């Protein structure tokens, strides 16, 4: 019998025992769910799932061991302690998924926080079974108690391991899964509280329990907002960073050593093959200008084009105009990314301007030897205006005599009408053009168009240590097979953005 001072369950009620065993099942399921959540989130955020799952499971079980060991220090009041443990597990475990996602972009050292959280949850879960066994010890004989409790514990684990990948993550998502199981934990605590006759003694626990339950329910309802706020995409993407600037949504993903940037869901680069794209973008133009001292880059806030530009010794000044300060800040200040772009955005010769290129080009007075136009694809009318005859006409006066411009013009294989519309528009604006295309695995066939006052010609000087763009590759790039050949297309205008429409049509057909 429990002591007078401590609250205890009413004696001799079999339905109650069933309920307790059911709660063993519940807490066991929850325990495994938190472990799986931590492992899954860790492998998303940190990569390398084998290491993450191993270390998380190890830490968790170790912490459970520590918790079980510490259960000996609970001399009395097992029920009260158990209820408190449940409430704490609900709080920590329930909010663990949301918390990890939210904290990841905010903290310097994510790993220590991850392991401390896993340890804390594991510790509390480790306390649960010994305490439950002691609570039940007077209702069964010892052998039966041990057998019953551990049976339900292990069977609970099976339920978790099946539910998690098949039902919970695809339909609820990681954050809601955590919150739901937190509710189960606190539900067990509140249910037990309801059954205790001398309830008044557990007033504090009751209030705390209700408070935690309320926060979990609120979190469940607003999980969408939490997800949006922490800006992590749904199940399936290994996102390491995400943010919404006023202009666009930036998402960085990592898959082993392949780092990718998505702007509003559109791939901008893959670190594995971006050198092909950027060498092809920069060097044909740079190599056609005698002394490319003053260079303008429009777009290209990731700094990769700039990296290629700085490989030329003649370069004295690079002006980069990108709309989004979030982009240039990210690529100028994150060590992972400055390593990739060789810190081009912080080069002393670099001058970064965050402005709308359409407005900026109208008010600048500078002239440039090379103009590199690396805008995002013309997916909507706002970006589309940067591909209009009006824009190109405004660009022309800023090309110095003997200067060369190059424009990223999307895929001539997937969207040939769009590609050739850019050429047509450049020509209508008074440029002479020379198009070319290269193969970039993560994009497919991709096209660029050289533009200048004179014919850009077929030859250029190339740096000796290009990884992709040799003189031979560059020469081959000028030839277009029949399936990418030029066709009659309209000129893209501000008041009739044919490019945006043909681009959307062609990509829709391609993507089905």
Query: Could you tell me which stretch among 76-84, 128-136, 325-333, 494-502 binds other proteins (CB under 8 A)?
Result: 494-502
Please report how close the Cβ of residue 502 comes to other proteins at its closest, in angstroms: 13
Cβ distance to other proteins smaller for residue 428 or 463? 428
Residue written as token pair 């209700």: 210
Q: Are strands 239-244 and 249-255 parallel, antiparallel or unpaired?
A: antiparallel
**CB contact at 8 A, 242 and 231:** yes
| Stretch of residues binding other proteins (CB under 8 A), selected from 34-42, 50-58, 184-192, 495-503 | 495-503
Binding-site member from 496, 505, 509, 510 for other proteins (CB under 8 A): 496
* Span near other proteins by CB under 8 A; candidates 29-37, 104-112, 305-313, 354-362: 354-362
Contact 416, 487 (CB under 8 A): yes
- By beta-carbon proximity to other proteins, the closer residue of 198 and 496 is 496
384 binds other proteins (CB under 8 A): yes
Q: Helix 14-46 vs helix 96-103: angle between axes, to the nearest 10 degrees?
A: 20
Q: Does position 203 bind other proteins by CB under 8 A?
A: no
Considering the complex, state which of residue 465 and residue 495 has its C-beta at the smaller distance from other proteins: 495
Is the Cβ of residue 328 or residue 341 nearer to other proteins in the bound state? Answer: 328
- Active-site positions read 374
Residue 147 or 382: the one with the smaller Cβ distance to other proteins is 382
* Burial (CB count <10 Å: 0-12, 13-18, 19+), residue 474: buried
d(CA 128, CA 68): 8
- Residue 54 in contact with residue 188, Cβ under 8 Å? no
Piece of 92-100, 103-111, 173-181, 492-500 that binds other proteins (CB under 8 A): 492-500
User: Is the distance from CB of 260 to CB of 373 less than 8 angstroms?
Assistant: no
Pairing of the two strands 399-408 and 368-374: parallel
Nearer to other proteins, 190 or 323 (CB): 323
Extract the tokens encoding 15: 């339905």
Retrieve residue 304's tokens. 């990769």
d(CA 329, CA 245): 11
Task: Report the residue from 4, 465, 495, 511 that binds other proteins according to the rule CB under 8 A.
Answer: 495
| 126 near other proteins (CB under 8 A) | no
Beta strands 258-263 and 266-270, pairing class = antiparallel
For other proteins, the binding residues in 220-279 under the rule CB under 8 A are: 246-247
User: Could you give the string, one character per residue 385-424, with x where binding to other proteins holds by CB under 8 A and - elsewhere?
Assistant: x--xxx----------------------------------
Chain Cα centroid distance, residue 96: 18
Least Å distance between CB 47 and other proteins? 34
Binds other proteins (CB under 8 A): choice among 214, 381, 471, 486: 381
The length of the chain in residues reads 512
Stretch that binds other proteins, among 48-56, 127-135, 376-384, 419-427 (CB under 8 A): 376-384
Report the distance separating Cα 346 and Cα 363, nearest Å. 25
| Distance from C-alpha of 13 to C-alpha of 1, rounded to nearest angstrom | 14
| 103-111, 330-338, 474-482, 487-495 -> range binding other proteins (CB under 8 A) | 487-495
Whole-number Å distance between alpha carbons of 89 and 67: 12
| Measured distance between the N- and C-terminal CA atoms of the chain, rounded to whole angstroms | 70
For other proteins, the binding residues in 39-68 under the rule CB under 8 A are: none
Binding other proteins by CB under 8 A: which of 494, 505, 509, 510?
Answer: 494
- Give dist(CA 232, CA 238) in Å, integer: 9
Comparison of 256 and 363: residue with beta carbon closer to other proteins: 363
CB of 381 to other proteins, least distance (A): 5
Name, in order, each residue with C-beta under 8 angstroms of 437's C-beta and a sequence gap of 6 or more. Answer: 412, 413, 445, 446, 447, 448, 477, 480, 484
Nearest alpha-carbon partner for 295 in 339, 359, 358, 344? 344
Neighbour-count burial of 47, counting CB atoms closer than 10 A to its CB (0-12 exposed, 13-18 middle, 19+ buried): middle
Q: In angstroms, give the least distance from the CB of 215 to other proteins.
A: 25
How many residues of this chain interact with other proteins, rule: CB under 8 A?
Answer: 19
The nearer residue to other proteins, 231 or 380, going by C-beta atoms, is 380
3-state SS track over 137-148: CCCCCHHHHHHH
Helix (H) or strand (E) holding 89: helix 78-94
State which H helix or E strand residue 447 sits in: strand 444-452
CB of 304 to other proteins, least distance (A): 25
Q: In terms of CB distance, is 152 or 358 closer to other proteins?
A: 358
**Closer residue to other proteins, CB minimum distance, 154 or 381:** 381
CB of 227 to other proteins, least distance (A): 18
Minimum distance from residue 498 beta carbon to other proteins (Å): 9
Judged by CB under 8 A, which of 134, 342, 396, 493 binds other proteins? 493
DSSP state of 483: G
Tell me if 472 contacts other proteins by CB under 8 A: no
Q: Which stretch binds other proteins (CB under 8 A): 68-76, 102-110, 329-337, 381-389?
A: 381-389
Binding site for other proteins (CB under 8 A): 246-247, 356, 358-359, 380-382, 384-385, 388-390, 493-497, 500
């Amino acid at each position: 019998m429990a002591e007078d001072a401590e609250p205890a369950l009413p004696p001799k009620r079999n339905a109650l025992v069933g309920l307790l065993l059911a709660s063993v099942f519940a807490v066991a399921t929850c325990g495994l769910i938190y472990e799986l959540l931590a492992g899954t989130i860790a492998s998303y955020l940190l990569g390398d799932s084998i290491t993450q799952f191993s270390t998380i499971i190890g830490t968790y079980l170790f912490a459970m061991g520590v918790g079980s060991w510490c259960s000996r220090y609970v001399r009395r009041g097992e029920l009260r302690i158990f209820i408190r443990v449940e409430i704490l597990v609900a709080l920590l475990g329930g909010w663990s998924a949301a918390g990890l996602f939210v904290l990841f972009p905010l903290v310097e050292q994510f790993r220590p926080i991850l392991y401390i959280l896993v340890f804390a949850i594991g510790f509390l879960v480790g306390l649960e079974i010994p305490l439950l066994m002691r609570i039940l010890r007077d209702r069964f004989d010892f052998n039966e108690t041990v057998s019953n409790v551990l049976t339900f514990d292990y069977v609970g684990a099976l339920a978790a391991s099946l539910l998690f990948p098949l039902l919970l993550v695809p339909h609820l998502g990681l954050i809601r899964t955590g919150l739901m199981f937190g509710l189960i934990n606190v539900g067990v605590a509140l249910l037990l509280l309801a059954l205790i006759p001398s309830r008044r003694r557990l007033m504090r626990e009751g209030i705390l329990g209700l408070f935690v339950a309320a926060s979990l329910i609120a979190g469940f309802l607003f999980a969408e907002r939490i997800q949006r706020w922490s800006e992590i995409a749904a199940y399936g993407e290994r996102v390491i960073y995400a943010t919404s600037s006023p202009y666009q949504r930036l998402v960085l993903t990592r898959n082993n050593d392949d780092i990718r940037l998505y702007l509003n869901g559109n791939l901008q680069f893959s670190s594995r093959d971006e050198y092909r794209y950027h060498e092809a973008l920069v060097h044909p133009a740079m190599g056609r200008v005698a002394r490319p001292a003053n260079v303008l880059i429009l777009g290209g806030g990731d700094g990769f084009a700039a990296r290629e530009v700085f490989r030329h010794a003649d370069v004295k000044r690079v002006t980069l105009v990108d709309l989004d300060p979030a982009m240039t800040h990210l690529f100028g200040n994150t060590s992972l990314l400055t390593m990739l772009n060789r810190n081009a955005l912080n080069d002393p010769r670099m001058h970064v301007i965050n402005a709308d290129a359409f407005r900026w080009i109208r008010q600048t007075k500078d002239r440039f030897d090379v103009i590199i136009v690396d805008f995002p694809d013309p997916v909507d009318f706002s970006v589309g205006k940067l591909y209009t005859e009006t824009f190109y006409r405004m660009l022309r006066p800023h090309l110095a005599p003997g200067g060369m411009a190059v424009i990223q013009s999307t895929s001539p294989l997937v969207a040939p009408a769009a590609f050739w519309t850019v050429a047509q528009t450049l020509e209508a604006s008074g440029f002479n053009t020379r198009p070319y295309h290269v193969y970039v695995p993560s994009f497919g066939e991709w096209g660029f168009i050289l533009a200048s006052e004179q014919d850009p010609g077929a030859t250029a000087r190339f740096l000796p240590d290009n990884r992709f763009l040799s003189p031979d590759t560059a020469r081959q790039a000028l030839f277009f097979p029949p399936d990418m050949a030029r066709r009659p297309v309209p000129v893209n205008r501000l008041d009739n953005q044919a490019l945006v429409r043909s681009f959307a049509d062609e990509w829709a057909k391609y993507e089905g």
